[in-house]
Structure 1
């Protein structure tokens, strides 16, 4: 019987160990995500609070109030009204009296040519993240900026319909699937290598 090659075996063992570790890490992330979603659901019924200077994920889906001293810009993207109708939502880039920057979703229009009329003022709504965000490369390289906070306003701008309130059910919770994938990769790698060793021994 031929001797088991040391270096290839060591490489396969390390690779399998790494994949198993990633699988358990995804299971841990699943537990953390479940706690985050439960907290977000509880936030839906909390009393409104002023928008804090430092936005953390545990505040997502909470009701907040803020003051938009001026609107710097508008962006438009796909959105849904509170009744579920698709349309074009309009997001204002706001600056507070203290200089804090945040976005405000001021509602959805059926006509993409419609331009909202709103110059700022008091805002009340549900805290979320503005659409878009860092790319995968930014996350890998550690240059990802924190997502911009956005308030989905209860009161739409003139001519717009209220946007659909953010729902914690929209938070991705696919860590179990990722964990099973990593465990599957580890098992497949081990089986393939054992079959290769068996073939080699013949």
Structure 2
């Protein structure tokens, strides 16, 4: 068998090492961080209410809160999976506030709400960024109050759900290890064939 070519071997070895490092990072760093974050979110609904945040703060997700919605108020519908559509109000005032008023199965519904006090829990506003934009912009979505009880005569919103927060770090680690194995195997087969 011929000697392995130096430059391609170094490139493949570096690529495999990088993939293994990324897998270990997902497994040993990101996964424990996400599990700790999910444990915090599981406690949040039972903690005292907090003022509604004006900027994204992931640590407040699922905390109880309240806000007063100042006119003018615009209401739009957004898809909500099995629940049909969620009605989201954007309140006027200095800093716009979003409130998920409730849900409806009618895609043509035009909920009317003139504003006022609302209570519920802190959730994420719908994220209108493209997939490519979310890869480069890691800011969390804006906060939104999910009204409980619902407003404007709508059906109730779903309670806080940990399953809505993705935890894919174990799968990501497996993918990186698999990519490293495939790269090493393909290179060794190609080198053997060359020899």
* Shared fold, TM over 0.5: yes
Q: Give SS of 1:69's match.
A: strand
**3-state DSSP of counterpart to 1:151:** strand
Provide the C-alpha distance between the structure 2 equivalents of 1:121 and 1:132, rounded to a whole number of angstroms.
25
Taking the aligned partners of 2:44 and 2:72, their CA distance within structure 1 comes to: 27
1:22 alignment partner in structure 2: 22
Q: Distance between the aligned counterparts of 1:25 and 1:177, measured in 2?
A: 12
- Give the structure-2-normalised TM-score: 0.90
The CA deviation at 1:71 is 4.0
Return the alpha-carbon distance in structure 1 between the equivalents of residues 107 and 84 of structure 2. Answer: 8
Deviating 4+ runs (over 3 angstroms): 139-142
Structure 1 residue runs without a partner (length 5+): none
C-alpha separation between the residues in 1 aligned to 2:68 and 2:42?
A: 25
Please state how far the C-alpha of 1:136 moved relative to its aligned partner.
2.6
CA-based RMSD of the aligned residues comes to: 1.9
The answer to whether structure 1 residue 139 and structure 2 residue 141 are counterparts is no
**Alpha-carbon displacement from aligned partner over 1:4-44 (angstroms, at most 9, x marks no partner):** 20111011011101111211222221111111111101001
For 1:161 and 1:140, the matched residues in 2 are separated by: 34
Q: Classify 1:146/1:73 alpha carbon distance in 2 versus 1 (closer, same or farther; 3 Å).
A: farther
Query: Take 1:29 and 1:145, find their aligned partners in 2: how far apart are those partners?
Result: 17
> 1:102-153: CA deviations, max 9, x gaps?
21010112322332121111111010111234223223444x6541211110
Counterpart pick for 1:187 among 173, 181, 189: 181
Contact 2:99 2:146 in 1 (8 A): yes
Aligned to 1:3: 3
Unaligned runs of 5+ in 2: none
Question: Structure 1's 111 and 55: CA in aligned 2 closer, same or farther, altered over 3 A?
Answer: same
Query: 1:160 corresponds to which residue?
Result: 154
Give the secondary structure class of the aligned counterpart of 2:46. Answer: coil
Post-superposition offset of 1:157 = 2.3
Q: Which residue of 2 aligns with 1:86?
A: 83
The 2-side partners of 1:177 and 1:155 are apart by 37
- CA distance in 2 between partners of 1:145 and 1:71 (Å): 27
Q: How many angstroms apart in 2 are the aligned matches of 1:70 and 1:134?
A: 26
User: How high is the TM-score relative to the length of structure 1?
Assistant: 0.87
